[in-house]
Amino acid sequence: MLTRARLSLLVLALLAGCAGSPQLPPASPPERPKLVVLLVVDGLPQRQVLAYRDQLAADGLRRFLDRGAWFSNAHYGHGHTVTAAGHAVMLSGAYPERSGIISNEWRDARTFEAVYCTSDSAHQYIGHKTAPLAGTSPRNLKVETLGDVLRTLDPASKMIGISGKDRGAILPAGHKGTAYMYMSASGGFASSTYYMPQHPQWVTSFNDAKPADAFFQKTWAPLLAESAYARSVPDGQPWQSTGGNGNTLPAVIGLKSDAPGPRFYENLIATPFSDELTLAFARAAIEGEQLGTDDKPDILSVSLSAHDYVNHAFGPESRLSHDHLLHLDRHLQTFFQYLDRQIGAGNYVALLTADHGFADTPEWAASQGRDADRINPSQALGWLNAELAKRFGVDKLARGYSAAGLLFNDELIAARGLKTADVHQAAKLLLLQVDGVASVFTLDQLRSSDSTTPYLAAMRKSWHPEVAAPLQIVVKPGWLYSSRASGSSHGTPHAYDTHVPILAWGPRWVGQGEVAARVEVADIAPTLARVLKVPVPAQSQGQPLPLPVRRQP
């Protein structure tokens, strides 16, 4: 239906064009994007994006940095910075204290049984064996996501989540979306019976084509000349993992296998080829689901898992991590150019972030003169229980770790007539004697309104009263709570783990330029809700991002 203004313009055009063809005014761009694409680079600290900025492709990450909106001081607000917790925040705006996703896995406080963030025994993978505790549904997610809001308002809108990890697909997809995850047994992607009884034809066709097999015995070689990697740590360091594909480039993926199989598909994950495969599946989803083709906006979340595996194995300071990011950047460039053609450059918004940052490998950090090392969890627990036994005369009062905290044997404490608070306080004081432990917080502190004690506010956001342990532990900067002898990790409230990219493109909606103000990943959900003109998810704790001035269409 023409508005009065457009009708007037049409009449004027017809009158002015009597001697030739009428010139209609150009079609107005959509008021809201047809497609929102959330890209997550698992385990990408912001410092890596800027460290290699001069080596990035012209239209990969630099599309955001040169022509988009980017937030140079973006952080997570919660303290236990791990994959599941981060992915749960992005499109809900809710921290673990509300979402209930406190970690990738934790222990039931009553039974001490293992709980996986997206496990649901009522559902199975479609066409694949489902192991115990496999991630099959968002049952443990206690909040709604942006996709849930969108699909509640209009079920014709679609929310698709894709990832190399089940948690990276399921948690952004929310309760009303659809998730697909990489299957290392087959090299394909699968959903679960929570979402559907069987795959649509486009998924079956993608998997039947065996696209992962195209990478069998393909070489991961450095993208640039050797001199370009002078700013990163060379391959083959003693603290770098030698499993999988080894710790030197070039590396032939599947070298020791005669044909593609589960071992090859597993080893493919920690390479640039798995990013290429995941983005190929994303393109298949766009076309198979006809995303962004009508006036019903859709959301596509694509979590690229490889960088996390690379950083865990070799550390973010490594040449392998450096080179992996450059390869990923080129794959993103190809994907953006596909979106421009398929959806239209003025019809979509792309936003890229990460679920957490990364610590430098402690051994490398120590070689640079920093205070960095590893705390062996089992040794620390054994020492703690021995010291508690001396104090209270009872063995094994501390039951074990759960996420960032410590659980206790509550039945034993009660049976021996001990006061729970006394045991917790004694454990806290003992843990603070462990070399590498910075802070330990008790229930009273976590329930308090204290906003000045370092790390407490962040750990409070990671603590859910129904799920988390009563004692929360923070290590010193540079230290890892890890029994592994190689590689690196994350999971702390320190800046190297909380400082992640928030990069946005879609100038009509997000503007252009750097924003230096501190923002949080929880701000993404309310920002995209405003772009899509829908209500903010009910449990969101974020605020709309302070976007730079938008470019007029």
For every one of its 553 residues, what pLDDT tens digit does the chain have, with 9 covering 90 and above? 333 333 333 333 322 333 333 343 444 456 999 999 999 999 999 999 999 999 999 999 999 999 999 999 999 999 999 999 999 999 999 999 999 999 999 999 999 999 999 999 999 999 999 999 999 999 999 999 999 999 999 999 999 999 999 999 999 999 999 999 999 999 999 999 999 999 999 999 999 999 999 999 999 999 999 999 999 999 999 999 999 999 999 999 999 899 999 999 999 999 999 999 999 999 999 999 999 999 999 999 999 999 999 999 999 999 999 999 999 999 999 999 999 999 999 999 999 999 999 999 999 999 999 999 999 999 999 999 999 999 999 999 999 999 999 999 999 999 999 999 999 999 999 999 999 999 999 999 999 999 999 999 999 999 999 999 999 999 999 999 998 889 999 999 999 999 999 999 999 999 999 999 999 999 999 999 999 999 999 999 999 999 996 655 5
Written in H, E and C, the secondary structure of 89-132 is HHCCCCCHHHHCCCCCEEECCCCCCEEECCECCCCCECCCCCCC
Q: Can you spell out the DSSP letters for 439-505? A: EEE-HHHHHS---SSTTHHHHHHT--TTTS-SEEEEEPTT-EE---SSS----SSSHHHHB--EEEE
Handedness of CA 111, 115, 120, 122 (dihedral sign): negative
Q: Smallest Cα–Cα separation from 324: which of 236, 238, 224, 227?
A: 224
CA distances from 374 to 38, 327, 380 (A): 34, 31, 11
CA distance 483 to 485: 6
Q: Left if phi > 0, otherwise alpha if psi is -120 to 50, otherwise beta: which for 370? A: beta
Alpha-carbon 203 to chain mean position: 23
CA distance 70 to 516: 9
Amino acid 30: pLDDT: 64
Would residue 83 show up in a list of annotated catalytic residues for this protein? yes
CA distance 321 to 316: 6
Amino acid 7: pLDDT: 33
181: part of which helix (H) or strand (E)? strand 178-183
Tokens of 10: 């049409």
CB–CB of 343/506 below 8 Å?
no
- pTM for this entry: 0.93
DSSP-assigned beta bridge partners for residue 178: 160
Amino acid 484: pLDDT: 87
Amino acid 551: pLDDT: 55
Cβ atoms within 10 Å of 139's Cβ, excluding its own? 16
Set 81, 83, 271, 527: catalytic member: 83
Q: Report domain 35-366+495-532's class.
A: alpha beta
CA distance 171 to 92: 9
CA distance 388 to 120: 36
CA distance 278 to 380: 39
Cβ atoms within 10 Å of 200's Cβ, excluding its own? 13
CA distance 410 to 148: 38
Amino acid 552: pLDDT: 54
Amino acid 5: pLDDT: 39
Residue with token string 């729970």: 420
496: part of which helix (H) or strand (E)? helix 495-498
Residue ranges of domains in the chain: 35-366+495-532, 374-435+437-475
CB–CB of 283/354 below 8 Å?
no
Strand 480-481 to strand 298-304: parallel, antiparallel, or no bridges (unpaired)?
unpaired
Amino acid 483: pLDDT: 86
Written in H, E and C, the secondary structure of 324-335 is HHHHHHHHHHHH
Tokens of 156: 């014709």
DSSP-assigned beta bridge partners for residue 180: 162
Length of the chain: 553
**What three-state secondary structure class fits 408?**
strand
Amino acid 256: pLDDT: 86
**What three-state secondary structure class fits 170?**
helix
Strand 480-481 to strand 374-375: parallel, antiparallel, or no bridges (unpaired)?
parallel
Burial class (CB in 10 A: 0-12, 13-18, 19+), 385: buried
Tokens of 243: 């499993």
Is the domain defined by 374-435+437-475 classed in CATH 3.30.1360.150? yes
